[in-house]
A and B are shown apart, each in its own frame.
Chain A
Amino acid sequence: MKKMYLTKETLDKLKQELEHLTNVKRKEVTARIAKAREYGDISENSEYDAARDDQSFIEGRIAELQEILKDSKVLEKPSSTDFVSIGSCVVVEVDGQNDEFEIVSSIEANPIQGRISNESLVGKALLGSKVGDTITVSSTIKATYKILEIK
C-alpha cells in the first residue's frame, strides 16, 4: 500500500475507532457469541448468526484501520502556497465558473464537499501547479482548470 498523508484530526479519529473496536467491541461480540452458544443448536440460532455477522464486520474494520494506520503519516499544513500539494486549498476557474477544492488523500476525499483525492485525474494534474498555470485533463471531453489562488 502506498504511503498516505492524513490530517492529524483524521488520524486521531481512526486511532480512537481502532482502540474502541479492539478493546470494547471485540470483547462484547465474543461474549455475545459465547452466550448464544449456550442456547443450544447453533444451526438454528438467530442470535448466534447475528453475533457472528457483527464479529465479521468488526474484524474487517479492524483489519482495514490497521492497514490504513500502518501506511499513514501526519499531513502537515503545506508550508508554502507557491504550488499545489496535498493539503492545499485551490481556487480554480473551470468552464467559466470559479470552484474551490481541497486536495486530500483518497480516504479523506469527499468531492461533493469539495475535498478531492490526490489520486483522481484532476487531483493528480493539479499537484505541483502554481497560480496562473492552466492544466488540462484530456479525453474526448477536455477539462481545463486555471489556478487562481492557492491557500
Chain B
Amino acid sequence: MTALIRFFNEVGKLKFIKRMGWILGGVKESETESIADHSFRLALMSWYFADKKGLDVGKVIKMSLVHDLCTIYSGDLTPYDNLVTGDFKHDKAILAKWPRRAKEEKERMVREQREKEEVSFNKLLANLPEKFAQEIRGLWLDYESGETKEGRFLAQIDRVEKLMQATEYRANDKYLTEIDPFWIQLKELVDDPDLIHFIEAMDKDFYQTGQNESQATSTKTAH
C-alpha cells in the first residue's frame, strides 16, 4: 500500500504544476491553470465527444487522466521553450506565431521529449501493482503514438481544450498576446468532423456573439 500512497502523493503535485505556455504569454502565475485543471476538463470533453462517436469512453477518460502524468518530473514543456528568453517584451512577437520547423527538427524534438517522458514514467510507475502500471503506460503510449482511434482522437481534443483555455484567458485580458496561432494550429492538427464543427462554433462564439465581453464581465464580477 505504501507504493500506492506515494504514487497518489506524486500525482497530487499536478494540482500545483503550472501550464507554462500561459505564463510565457503573460498570464500571472497565480492565475495560471495547473496540469490537473487541464486534465479535468479534457476528461469531461473527451467523455462527451468520444461517446458521440461510439468510441471507448472509459478508455479516453483514463487516457485524459494519465496523458500528462510525466510532467510531475519532466515539467511542462512547450514548443516555444528553445525560442523564448523569459523577457515578455522580447518574446511577444515570437509567441504571436506558431513556431515552424523543418520535418527532421520536429521529429528530433518529439524523440527527445519522448525520452524525457519515458524516464519520468519509469520513475513514477516503478513500484505500482503491475497491471495498473502497465495500463497507465499503455494508455500514455497510445496517446503519444496515436495507435488506436481513441489515442488519435484524444490528441485532437487535447488541442481543442487548449484553444478553449486560450479564448478564456484572452477574453479576460490575462493572456497578453494574440491567440491566432491556436486557431491556425488546429486547422492542421484536427481532422475529426465533429471537432472541426465544434471549433467553428467556438470561432463564432468568440468573435461574433460578444461572448468575449460577457466572459470578461462575469469574471471581473466574480473577483
Answer whether residue A42 sits at the interface, using C-beta atoms and an 8 A cutoff.
no
Answer whether residue B200 sits at the interface, using C-beta atoms and an 8 A cutoff.
yes
Answer whether residue B223 sits at the interface, using C-beta atoms and an 8 A cutoff.
no
Residues of chain A at interface, number, CB under 8 A: 35
Contact of A121 among B98, B101, B107, B196 (CB under 8 A): B196
Answer whether residue A96 sits at the interface, using C-beta atoms and an 8 A cutoff.
yes
Answer whether residue B146 sits at the interface, using C-beta atoms and an 8 A cutoff.
yes
- Do most interface residues of chain A lie in helix, strand or loop, or is the interface mixed? mixed
| Size class of the contact patch on chain B | 20 to 34
Answer whether residue B180 sits at the interface, using C-beta atoms and an 8 A cutoff.
yes
Answer whether residue B106 sits at the interface, using C-beta atoms and an 8 A cutoff.
yes
Q: How far is the CA of A94 from the CA of B183 in the complex (A)?
A: 14
**Chain B residues with CB below 8 A from A128, complex form:** none
**Chain B residues with CB below 8 A from A98, complex form:** 100, 102
Q: How far is the CA of A132 from the CA of B180 in the complex (A)?
A: 25
Contact of A95 among B100, B110, B148, B187 (CB under 8 A): B100
Answer whether residue B28 sits at the interface, using C-beta atoms and an 8 A cutoff.
no
Answer whether residue A122 sits at the interface, using C-beta atoms and an 8 A cutoff.
yes
Query: Are the C-beta atoms of A94 and B191 separated by less than 8 Å?
Result: no
User: Which residue from chain B places its CB closest to the CB of A46 in the assembled complex?
Assistant: B131
> A84-121: contact bitstring with B at CB < 8 Å (1 yes, 0 no)?
00000100001111111110001101111110111111
With known contacts A60-B56, A95-B184, A140-B207, A112–B110 Cβ distance under 8 A: yes
A-B contact pairs, 9 of them (CB 8 A): A94-B100, A97-B99, A101-B103, A107-B146, A114-B107, A119-B191, A120-B190, A121-B196, A139-B200
| Interface set of A (CB-CB < 8 Å, partner B) | 50, 60-61, 64, 89, 94-102, 106-107, 109-114, 116-123, 137, 139-141, 143
